[in-house]
Amino acid sequence: MLTIGISTNWDPEKKRVNIPNDYMTAVLRAGALPILFPLTDSQPAWDAMVDLVDAMIFPGGEDIAPSYYNEETRPLCGEIIPERDRQELYTYGEVIKRGIPFLAICRGVQLVNVYEGGPLYQDIASEYPTDIDHAQFSVSIGPIHTVKLSEGSLIHKVSGTQELSVNSRHHQAVKTLGKGLIASATAPDGLIEAVEYQNGYPGIAVQWHPENLAKQDPHAQRLFDWLVKTAAQRK
């Protein structure tokens, strides 16, 4: 059975890692086994975890430290988990070096952009003119707004449609694209909602949460199905 690694988040109050169950059920529905990556400061452990998996999911979570994109932390930047930043940026680098397929979600698309040298809006509401409230954290399914997929993009081919209705639970977003990235989906206000690699690398990064939508929306589940199928083709 194929294995799909999933990064985890840290709960500082309960002193434990956590991950919403929808990520795991979407992977299981696609026919693969989810493997959760515990947070640790051990680089050998990071390498060993990547060795275990056929594909990777970088899920949502807290904000990435602005120091990684050469900015000072502004007052409206949210909570930062330094341990997760270190581990995920390293893990993502190893995934890319090894050619492992990935799906990056919410914080994940921001991680991809920051790794490739691109900055973020630290707080959309105060930095980007829009009538859309992107930070609707209490709404798991929605929909909140639509996104338009770029014709011919990987996500367009995988989703089988040019427009999706999505949820929206983020207060940060891609500001300027990192090196080698292209925008493959945008919100009605022009905000970047998905990115891919110009060179066709097997990776899709989206700003919304398809794991919450996947049970009832086949377009959302197709992202997880694609990840597992692409991993199988590498075997």
The residues carrying an active-site annotation are 106, 209, 211
- Whole-angstrom distance, CA of residue 121 vs CA of residue 215: 31
| CB-based contact 120:174 (threshold 8 Å) | yes
- Whole-angstrom distance, CA of residue 14 vs CA of residue 94: 30
Q: Which of 172, 165, 184 is nearest to 134 (CA)?
A: 172
As a dihedral over the C-alpha atoms of residue 153, residue 180, residue 99, residue 29, rounded to 10 degrees, the angle is: -40
**Side-chain-side CA neighbours of residue 145 (13 Å):** 22
- Whole-angstrom distance, CA of residue 50 vs CA of residue 125: 36
Question: What letter would DSSP give residue 68?
Answer: G
- Whole-angstrom distance, CA of residue 88 vs CA of residue 90: 5
Residue whose pair of structure tokens reads 């434990």 in the numeric block: 16
Helix or strand or coil: residue 36?
A: strand
